[in-house]
Structure 1
């Protein structure tokens, strides 16, 4: 029983931050039709920025609770700086081009950002310890977990709910949905599609950076961080269905529980378990569990 509880809690914790990152990836694909290989790099930059912001706040003598605000501000800063540079300065020149070319462009961006993070922050790891002890420990049965892990679960719920509400219950969200269904028709009705692309790309980068910022206290922030994240994020959106918020949530939960089960039962199959689950899902649902219905072409 204790092992089952441990698997469930650890899987939910892992799924929470993964959902935030994958949500940004699936949002960018849904709106811009871009499979962004560089998404993991924005995650890594968010983690590095959070480490820098938290260290700066500590050096100023601010209270440890400020570290949470610092991590949020780090994600906002990453989106505010990198979104215009990336979308306006690079991606907009390739809209409507072949999908393979877009993948190659984002892969080139991924390589550039990998080297840029090493130039800015260096090769040594960073540690963000202040936020991790703010919430004490939580006892469940005979097991004890760090309270910060449950903050991530709450954050994932809030972020997922906010994105869903923004898309389905606001005027701007309706405009974004119109562009998702048909950018040409939306443009003919007076929608500024270019502005919608910029908005969606900015939110996608913010979500990636937010996931990186709030997982920074749980990991060692070091070069190569983005590689593993983008691979697992792709697994999530492929399982759930590209462009689906519900799919990202279910996909993250499936991947999180599969990984947690493997870690506690068959440790050598940790990464292998994720790909097995993805392969099984694709055997029966090649387009993912929640792929949007598409119009039939004649």
Structure 2
């Protein structure tokens, strides 16, 4: 079955009014015609029948979308998401149910719009679980007439939506909260008049300039260390390598036996070599 239900109408912000005028001119389907188209799509995979079902119900999507105009999101985007829900509904609609397509589709339309609003209403998501999403939309509708929830209001909402009263108060706080700009705001004269998060949300140690300087210093220090090692005599260099650089480190007694000297002498040679390395790195820094 072909599932390509792309709409032949370009919905954009610049042509939104023209879009509304256009879909208002599309004739509505009779019950019989809708039934015929739905059966053709289900049984024959007739994509033109599916497209006609979608087109004839676009005005219903626009009607539903207008109810979400108060979220500060472009209405054209909300309608577009609702249209996606309508197309999903057409794909799943069973004409044997004995109901009109719009009655079946309203769930899918609202589900897509709800998902879009939740993802885009705030920078930080206000709802993640199914219960929180239900609470988000119901509580926001109620708060249009209420400035603050009373104890009775909160308890009634919690009982009605089957959520904990603590969740109701948490959602109320999220709804009342405001997004804060990372950069400081400026007045008409260009003067900053507030403390923005960028001033106190510094991630210490993550300054690119500091990291680059540290990287350059580490690389330079390593080069100087290797150069200083190369300037040591063979015995001193071997002692340091055997004591500190090799995977299997030698003891003072192992090196004393190798060079036929005392362990104390090996310790002295080691200290002298370490001092030379330290001076080479520090003096040239």
TM range (shorter): under 0.3
TM-score, normalised by the number of residues in structure 2:
0.26
Q: Which entry has the higher C-alpha Rg, 1 or 2?
A: 2
